A = this chain, B = another copy of it.
Amino acid sequence: MMKQVLIGILCGAVILTVGILIGNYGIVKSSSSAPSWVKDVVKDVDESFIEKFLSEVDNIQIQENLRELTKVPHMATTAGDEQTVQYMLKRWQDPKTGLDEAWREEYMVYLSFPDPKKPNKVTVVSPSETVLHTVREKEKSYTPDQDDPEVVQPYAAYSPAGNVMGKLVYANQGKLSDYQELNKTLDLSGTIAITKYGGAGRADKAINAAPFGVVGVLVYTDPLDINDGLMSDINETYPHSWYLPPSGVERGSFNTHYGDLLTPYLAAKEKTYRIPVKDITGIPPIPIQPIGFEDAFILICELGGKAAPKTWQGGFNCTYNFGGPGFRSTSDFNAGNDVKLDIFNYGEVKNSSNVMGIIRGSVEPDRYVIYGNHRDSWVHGAIDPSSGTSVMLELTRVLGQMVKQGKWRPRRSMIFGSWGAEEFGLIGSAEYTEQYFTKLSERTIAYINVDIAVFANATLRASGMPSVQNVIFKATKQVKAPGSVSSSVYDNWLKYSNRTSQEHGVIPKMGYLTGAGSDYAAFVHYLGITSIDMSYTYDRSKTNARIYPAYHTAYDTFDYASKFIDPGFTSHQAVARTAGNILIRLADSLVLPFICSDYSEVLKAYLNIALHLYKTQLQARNISMEPLERAVESFTSAASHLDQVIQSSDLANETPLKVRRINDQLMLLDRAFLNPLAFPDKYAFRHVIWASSSAGKLTFPGLADAFVKAESSGQSSDWDKVHYHLSVLSQAIEGAANTLVDVI
């Protein structure tokens, strides 16, 4: 009986178990089983994937990318440029390590070149036009790279052609104030001005000069500004060090606006309307030509006239005089001789290509993280831009391989852009944003720009909207500093450049994207897309060079980069790891890693400075800053509310539409700061917080500039413009706050 009972119980238990199993697995719960997509939509960034990515980013691969990219000079639209187009396509279309798709997009853009058959000439001539001195036309060769026939003669792109001569004057940096200073004691009409790089935009050195009657301008790089004073190529400059050889010349685009100059706000397609060339604004009205300091030395040290002010002096071992105008009577050239510019630049509409590549997003393909850099250089462009391109190619190799192997696909789409014709004014990226304006505005999470990846190998430098600070910090903490086994890129950065934040304590100091220095410009200022620009850079205790010395010269070669900028390519690797980490986080995070309160912190700081600088004077004119104060308050409270919502929600268990809603609020935040009427005088600047400003104050740019103008003119119409801009600004900030509060 006992046995039977036991058997019965046993049987019962078995049957119960079978029943439970049938009940659990045998019955399809059609009404409540989760659709297959549920798991995908709530997936967050995979930290182990990031680990894997970081470990696979390889310095030697970057080095080899650079070697390939710098084989020949590849100025925009030349045969060398086409070679890099083909190389990018080959890499991005590689079946094992390429992207989902890659293609080229062409624009017909207005460029400016020197004439190889009639090289630009700068000479010192006697009254009878006997040539007393000829400025070097080509940079001196130290390695075979400089002998490539495709090395373009140093020139000022968009300088008009022309033959001008006159007595030489020294005009410091060619700022308006520099010419005003000269004009106090000298009649500048008919003169040629020699200026230093720095202080004013390239084109401005000529634009500022023309109204004073100056007929031509020279520009050179002073050894004090670029070489920490060193000048000798016997043992001091490249190939002995990173310093610029005496004959090195910085080329550049001499224009003030960005994008194709003939098709403002329109993508430069074949049949697009083009403005007449004569209507182009923002370019030099008089010929201008860059020269090396070897020749600048000869010209400046022979100048007559009074000694220039102390702040105008440079690295030459002579006193920089204003010029008589012209040379000293005791000079080799003597006082009667002129400097003559024979400039043969010509403009041409040419076909420039962007190379585009994508990795499709799995869950939100309609959300884009864009990563880009330009491809065109002035000469071989090892640092500018090929260091960045080498980094980009290493990122896409690692990510592409994962995709091809089916191991990973980002939540959101990644778009990679290898922009054309940046050196001529950010043309490829600007045309791209014009062509795809609406689509990009609606869908782009962020733009990451890595142009020059490594200026020097000391520390990270990162700029961007304040809301990205957090994700940059997160990424930099995970990447080892080059050559270090314990210290992170973050630790190192903190050591070199930091600030105290009320919210976060002592943190690395991020920069802002207020100018148009690289291809982020159209994304930030025209589209209002949250952007990041980064690189490795200098130890400022070791050099005062305004930029790495071979910048835009024939010496910016693989040899230079690998010997003097980043031997071993470990700084390149650190940048690739950091930028890639950020890219993956932006693409894969369930909730976008943007912190709105970090934006408020900057707006509050801007407001405090504005109140301090302007409030009293504005009050006296019956202009209230209260709407701006209220707007910043609204923004601050809305931003902290949204951050709170994000932190307090269990978003992995929420409807994906709630997550998307929050992400849309974060993605579109910067769009709210756009107003096409905010800067009527600035081409394609529409972001009221980050536009460039000449006032030099750490506050709202339009307000600062309008205030300076009104204060100097004293006209009531100019004070009205201050009031107007204050209203535009307040409305934009209130509008941004409105997008951050509860959606309804």
Interface residues of A (CB under 8 A from B): 8, 11-12, 15-27, 29, 32-35, 37-38, 40-41, 263, 265-267, 269, 271-273, 358, 360-361, 363-366, 368, 413, 415, 434-439, 442-443, 624, 626-627, 653-657, 660-661, 664-665, 668, 671-672, 676-677, 720, 723-724, 726-728, 731, 734-736, 738-739, 743-744
Interface of A is mostly: helix
Q: Across the interface, do A273 and B724 meet the contact criterion of CB distance under 8 Å?
A: yes
A18, A19, A361, A731 interface centre (most CB from chain B within 10 Å): A19
Q: Across the interface, do A35 and B34 meet the contact criterion of CB distance under 8 Å?
A: yes
Q: Across the interface, do B668 and A438 meet the contact criterion of CB distance under 8 Å?
A: yes
List residues of chain B with CB within 8 A of the CB of A657: 41, 363-364, 656-657, 660
Known: A41-B656, A273-B726, A439-B738. A743 touches B365 (CB 8 A): yes
Nearest chain B CB to A685 CB, angstrom units: 14
Please measure, in the bound complex, the distance between the C-alpha atom of A266 and the C-alpha atom of B265, giving whole angstroms. 24
Q: Across the interface, do B41 and A655 meet the contact criterion of CB distance under 8 Å?
A: yes
Nearest chain B CB to A227 CB, angstrom units: 46
List residues of chain B with CB within 8 A of the CB of A672: 438-439
Question: Closest chain B residue to A676 by CB distance?
Answer: B676
List residues of chain B with CB within 8 A of the CB of A41: 655-657
List residues of chain B with CB within 8 A of the CB of A438: 668, 671-672, 735-736, 738-739
**How often does this chain occur in the complex, in copies?**
2
Q: Across the interface, do A655 and B363 meet the contact criterion of CB distance under 8 Å?
A: yes
Q: Across the interface, do B661 and A365 meet the contact criterion of CB distance under 8 Å?
A: yes
A8, A361, A363, A657 interface centre (most CB from chain B within 10 Å): A657
Out of B29, B723, B735, name the residue touching A437 (CB < 8 Å). Answer: B735
Those 9 A-B pairs whose CB atoms lie nearest each other, nearest first? A19-B19, A23-B23, A366-B743, A20-B23, A23-B24, A37-B655, A438-B672, A16-B19, A34-B34
Please measure, in the bound complex, the distance between the C-alpha atom of A540 and the C-alpha atom of B24, giving whole angstroms. 70
Please measure, in the bound complex, the distance between the C-alpha atom of A474 and the C-alpha atom of B459, giving whole angstroms. 64
Please measure, in the bound complex, the distance between the C-alpha atom of A365 and the C-alpha atom of B744, giving whole angstroms. 6
List residues of chain B with CB within 8 A of the CB of A360: 744
Q: Across the interface, do B439 and A739 meet the contact criterion of CB distance under 8 Å?
A: yes
Please measure, in the bound complex, the distance between the C-alpha atom of A476 and the C-alpha atom of B602, giving whole angstroms. 53
A8, A365, A627, A744 interface centre (most CB from chain B within 10 Å): A744
Please measure, in the bound complex, the distance between the C-alpha atom of A438 and the C-alpha atom of B731, giving whole angstroms. 10
Nearest chain B CB to A279 CB, angstrom units: 10
List residues of chain B with CB within 8 A of the CB of A671: 438, 442
Known: A19-B23, A269-B627. A436 touches B738 (CB 8 A): yes
Nearest chain B CB to A370 CB, angstrom units: 11
Q: Across the interface, do A627 and B23 meet the contact criterion of CB distance under 8 Å?
A: no
Q: Across the interface, do B744 and A366 meet the contact criterion of CB distance under 8 Å?
A: yes
Please measure, in the bound complex, the distance between the C-alpha atom of A40 and the C-alpha atom of B656, giving whole angstroms. 11
Please measure, in the bound complex, the distance between the C-alpha atom of A361 and the C-alpha atom of B672, giving whole angstroms. 23
Out of B12, B27, B267, B723, name the residue touching A12 (CB < 8 Å). Answer: B12
Q: Across the interface, do A661 and B273 meet the contact criterion of CB distance under 8 Å?
A: no
List residues of chain B with CB within 8 A of the CB of A29: 24, 29, 33
Q: Across the interface, do A439 and B655 meet the contact criterion of CB distance under 8 Å?
A: no
